[in-house]
Amino acid sequence: MSCSRVLVAAAFLAMVSCKGEPELVRGGATGEVTLPSKGDLSQIPLGDFAGGTPNLVATTIANPYANSAAATKEGEQLFQQMNCADCHGYDAKGGMGPDLTDAFWRYGGSPAEIYKSIYEGRPKGMPAWGASLPPQQIWKIVSYVQSLGGAFPPRLANAGRQGNLGGLDSVNLVSMKGVQDEH
């Protein structure tokens, strides 16, 4: 069997074995953290379909490390270690890759959408890191990206994806970064 067939078979078995249950992991200084289930994350599309009903899953998934300064610091270190700065700039204001400090996100700037962009990669250059980084490390990178001020709370996922944040700019979004959704 060729190498690519083995990889496809392994990926298929991994997907089939996933029961969509949240994963408990050690959160370092923050104790145990429950990560969003892979099943929930898999329901978030790459983008909206013209004329389709907006997908609301991204509005319900919060970053499990959102209020952890230790996780944000670890995320910043991972950002540097994984060479994210080579594309997004050392100040994360863009380079070859897009600016991560503004409120304009092609594939969505909610925590779940940022996670999926890192995990799956995106067309035109963003590599998929899901095979190299465990989910908790990706969520910590998401925490760091959120700390930069350009990401937005889950409840604004659909408005942000359509570029309609109701006049909120990244300065206002920074002040909202600790706001938790009421669901």
pLDDT, tens only, 50-98: 555 566 777 788 899 988 999 999 999 999 999 999 999 999 999 999 9
**What does the CA dihedral 45, 131, 112, 33 come to, rounded to 10 degrees?**
150
Assess contact for 56 and 154: CB atoms under 8 A.
no
pLDDT (tens digit per residue) in 5-54: 544 444 444 444 444 444 444 445 556 788 887 777 777 766 655 555 56
**Residue 37 has what pLDDT?**
78
CATH superfamily, domain 21-176, is Cytochrome c-like domain (1.10.760.10)
- Helix then strand count (H, E) for the chain reads 8, 2
Which helix or strand (DSSP H or E) is residue 160 part of?
Answer: helix 157-161
Query: pTM for the full model?
Result: 0.68
